[in-house]
A and B are shown apart, each in its own frame.
Chain A
Amino acid sequence: MKRILNLKINGTACEDAVADNMLLIDYLRDQKGLTGTKQGCDGGECGACTVLVDGKPRLACVTLAHDCAGTEIETIEGQQRNGRLSALQRAFHENLGTQCGFCTPGMIIAAEALLRRNPDPDDDAIKRALGGNLCRCTGYIKIIRSVRAAAAMMARDAA
């Protein structure tokens, strides 16, 4: 059965008829065309589908769309501001934190959640926050370096 679902995605209010059994990832990708959120393991093990729900990281592949009614969702598509990449996106680009790129949206969103609650994380905090995100190119060192660079960039911009 479909019911009306109201929520905000990247700042835009949405109202859609959504089936009770629809997962957030299918809603975002198939119904909203937001294919930046990746479908990896499809079982909550890889973190590629990480999105922010009311500022907290959530795995879209194990979340029902209707469980997000009334919330504000942020995906990788919402990270840029006026056509300019976010600090994390720039840092991943400049530090080669992206290899094949499949895990990158999930990594950036999980890192975004971390930097919002801890603007100056050490490597250990970064590893813990990204512990649920797998990179099969195994480029973890550059990913951690990118998050550190983004934190420095944000501190510089704020100063």
Chain B
Amino acid sequence: MTDAMPAFSLLHPETLDDALLALSTTAESRALAGGTDLIVNMRRGLVEAPKLVSLARVPELQRFETTENGLVLGAGVTLADIADSTLVREYYPALAQAAESVAGHTHRQVATLGGNLCQDTRCLYYNQSHWLRKSNDFCLKYRGEICHVAPRGKRCRAAYCGDIAPALLVHDAELTLAGPEGTRQLKLRDFFNEDGAQSTRLKPQEIIVSVLLRAPRGKSAYGKIRQRGAIDFPLAGVAVLADSRKQQTAFTIALTGTNSCPILLNNLPSLGGPAEADGYFNALSKTVQKSVSPQRTTTIAAHYRRLSIAALAARLARQLWEEGRP
């Protein structure tokens, strides 16, 4: 029953510099955070890495502090700590709700912020045993030449299923990345690629060091649809930020689970008064439907996921708008 664990060496650097050095000395080395994604994939034969560099003992990745720029969260902060933080719950509720909705209680004790952002995309034809994938001639994402989801397509359609990214996107989070070429800042909205085989723009051996959240511009919320109430990845996930000023409410929406990267909708028209509300939220739902392209990457029909993500987005937006009305 056990999928054999491939051989690798494991390092436990205790500073960020040592971690970056350890990563850069072997081309195929991989950073290991909580392991809830990477270890499972290694056992399924989806990742080969002769060297794993555990980031668990790097203090620079554990920051959780308020600075003059905003809240800084180290990439190694666990989802349990984020979900339990009163500060996050009050100012960035979508983030706390998203963190709390990831997997199960036990996973969240070790799963990290950075690990969740970088989690591998998922597909019915990919997250399977070696035996099943081999009998299918593998797939475009790994070792194969055809995408079984879209056989005529040229790119992998595996779905990005991270819950944290949309919550951070509506709050316009900024990342600090570090790698062999030094440190750089990047807006989270520029971090992802619409490609299931390579969904982030991390360079080889580069890691996320921290996430910066500036003062919130409104109230936010996160909701997701999945088959069971725990553990499951989102079939569709939605984060909404509502910024109410006088009679106008501006919405920012971010979506996950439907495409190969999260999607940010930030040029949405504003909602004026209550008289416009019904029409506005109907139109919002249509906009969300048109913005996503779910594929046959799960056992749940793509069309159902398109309809449900739109309904969820409109419901969350209306809820925030109603709570924010004077």
Chain A interface residues toward B at CB < 8 A = 1, 19-23, 26, 39, 42-45, 47, 50, 56-59, 62-64, 66-67, 69, 110, 128-133
Contact = CB atoms under 8 A, between A and B. Distances in A.
Nearest to B108: A132
Contacts of B32: 64
A58 B54 contact: no
B268 interface: no
B2 A20 contact: no
30 contacts: A1-B9, A19-B7, A21-B6, A22-B5, A42-B43, A43-B40, A43-B43, A43-B44, A44-B103, A47-B106, A58-B106, A58-B110, A59-B106, A62-B36, A62-B40, A63-B35, A64-B10, A64-B35, A64-B39, A67-B56, A110-B105, A110-B106, A128-B105, A129-B105, A130-B105, A131-B104, A131-B231, A132-B105, A132-B231, A133-B104
B326 interface: no
Nearest to A23: B5
B104 A132 contact: yes
Contacts of B7: 19-21
A11 B109 CA distance: 22
B35 A62 contact: yes
Interface string B232-246: 000000000000000
B230 A132 contact: yes
Task: Report the contact-size class of chain B (Cβ under 8 Å from the partner).
Answer: 20 to 34
Contacts of B52: 20, 64
Given A42-B1, A44-B103, 16 more contacts: A20-B8, A21-B5, A21-B7, A23-B39, A43-B44, A44-B107, A47-B104, A58-B110, A59-B107, A64-B10, A64-B32, A110-B106, A128-B105, A130-B105, A132-B104, A132-B107
A1 B229 CA distance: 41
B167 to A, nearest CB: 19
Contacts, number: 85
Interface of B: 1-3, 5-10, 12, 32, 35-36, 39-40, 43-44, 52, 54, 56, 103-107, 109-110, 229-231
B316 to A, nearest CB: 21
Contacts of B6: 21
Nearest to B232: A45
Nearest to B6: A21
B282 to A, nearest CB: 34
A56 B109 contact: yes
A3 to B, nearest CB: 9
Nearest to A59: B106
Nearest to B230: A131
A131 B229 CA distance: 8
Contact of A66 (B12, B43, B104, B229): B12
Q: Which of B3, B35, B54 has the most CB of A within 10 A?
A: B35
Contacts of A56: 109
Contacts of A58: 106, 109-110
Nearest to A56: B109
A148 B1 CA distance: 35
